[in-house]
Amino acid sequence: MPFISIKTSLPEIEDSEGLLKELSKLIAILTGKPEKYVMTLLEKNVPMTFSGNNNHCCYIEIKSIGSLKPATMTAEISKFIEAKTQIKSDRIYINFEDIDAKKWGYNGRTFA
């Protein structure tokens, strides 16, 4: 149920698989949801601009059925991404979306 999607202009990220696995654990901790339900996605080399230039940047979407705390999660996630990619937090946007359980499908049914 928690889903985090990262799109970045970086052409490559060292140990992308490791980044996704660590991010999965972090999202499970931050949301209090079992990691069994966390999905992560990384798209690299996405043509992007931010502040009118094409210096490396990152756009993140986080969706979950409840358990989102944008005010506190933003700092933790930005710090993590900056450490793993060297993209400064002022070049990162994060969009949080709380999804209604009846609109989230899994394993042939919805969560509500």
Which helix (H) or strand (E) segment holds residue 86: the answer is: none
| Residues that are catalytic | 2
Distance CA 71, CA 36 (A): 25
Which helix (H) or strand (E) segment holds residue 75: the answer is: helix 70-85
How many helices and strands in the chain, by DSSP H and E? 2, 6
Residue 84 C-beta-side C-alpha neighbours within 13 Å: 23
Interstrand relation of 3-8 and 39-43 (parallel, antiparallel or unpaired):
parallel
